[in-house]
Amino acid sequence: MAITPCGSEVFFTNSQGMELANHGTPLFPAAFYHDDLERDRVPWHWHDELEAVFVESGETTVSAGRQRHTLGRGQGFFVNADVLHSATGARGSHCRYHSIVFHPRLIGGGIDSIFWQSYLRPLIGSGLRFVALDGGQPWHARALACIEAAWQAGASDAPGYEFQVRAALSELVFLLCQNLPEGKATASEKTLRDSDRIKRMLRYVQQNYAEEITVSDIAASAMISQSECLRCFRSTIGMPPIHYVKRFRVQKAAELLSSTTEKIADIGAQCGFQDTSYFTRSFREIKGMSPGDYRRQARPQ
């Protein structure tokens, strides 16, 4: 049966910064999501799978490493495996998009197959991290049609949908391989180093957000100086580390507000806010409403 968790507004990650959702099954490793960015953003995360997205309405600003792109209705994007990325509604836009997260083996099969050797391995190892499918190239329209066809087939759960999904995603992978920039090398040593450092620091925050955290603590988790820590966060995440800590704490609080009946003050304390007034101000600053209003809006869903 196809996995179709629609209306996903709270985005869970594990202690590794990887998504908690099970993307499909071992037999069919693909999942289909209808994401709504009206209330929540998709936080910084990464995963082993490939991801393809078609924007259904509104606008989204997508960040992948140091790349930033704003995409609107009828556009989309592709994210390669193990690439740090996030998304949010652009300029307050009520963005909704269809996304497919699928393991390369769905298309490539075993590592000794022609599909893996000739297409999946070159794509994953190409150094290509993100593609904005904004209509800037003639093949973008066909790639977007493949994404939407795969999503619609997966969401329908009709007999034989697995063949339709695999066929559409296979064509998407072929288009990406055919249009890799010539001479595209693997990611530079600096890019790989920065990616490894930022992932280590994000893991530290995600594992220790309930405790007091300083810039020095975050820097030490990646064995770098505080100034290098600040540079990595600003160049990759686009914000200072302490701002990221506050946003992450608020996101974890939002998850608890949506899924539990615990007292608001207790939730704030669990998420690293020892002062309830500061928790309320921080939550309102980031979510645009108080914790109580957020909980009331979440309950009917």
The answer to whether the predicted template modeling score (pTM) of the entire model surpasses 0.85 is no
Q: Is residue 184 part of a domain?
A: no
Q: Is residue 56 part of a domain?
A: yes
CA dihedral in degrees (81, 83, 88, 90; nearest 10)? -100
The reply to whether 173 and 143 lie within a common domain is yes
Domain that holds residue 258: 189-298
Q: Is residue 183 part of a domain?
A: no
Q: Indicate the residue among 178, 203, 227 that finishes a domain.
A: 178
The reply to whether 162 and 74 lie within a common domain is yes
Is the separation of the CB atoms in 291 and 283 below 8 Å? Answer: yes
Q: Which amino acid would we find at residue 54? A: F
The reply to whether 171 and 194 lie within a common domain is no
Q: Indicate the residue among 156, 178, 200 that finishes a domain.
A: 178
Q: Which of 16-30, 45-59, 192-206 has the lowest mean pLDDT?
A: 16-30
- CA pair distance 64, 47, nearest whole angstrom: 13
The reply to whether 219 and 164 lie within a common domain is no
Burial of 282 (0-12, 13-18, 19+ CB in 10 A): buried
CATH of the domain at 151: 2.60.120.10
Q: Indicate the residue among 154, 178, 202 that finishes a domain.
A: 178
What is the per-residue pLDDT across 241-284, written as a single tens digit (0 to 9) for each? 999 999 999 999 998 998 899 999 999 999 999 999 999 999 99
| Cβ-proximal residues to 213 (8 Å cutoff; 6+ apart), any chain | 205, 242, 245, 272
* Tokens (6 digits) for 269: 């304390």
Q: Is residue 250 part of a domain?
A: yes
| Cβ-proximal residues to 292 (8 Å cutoff; 6+ apart), any chain | 264
What is the per-residue pLDDT across 35-88, written as a single tens digit (0 to 9) for each? 887 666 788 888 889 999 999 999 999 988 778 899 999 999 999 998 889 888
- pLDDT, residue 5, reads 41
| Cβ-proximal residues to 123 (8 Å cutoff; 6+ apart), any chain | 80, 173, 176, 177, 180
Q: How many domains does the chain have?
A: 2
The reply to whether 171 and 206 lie within a common domain is no
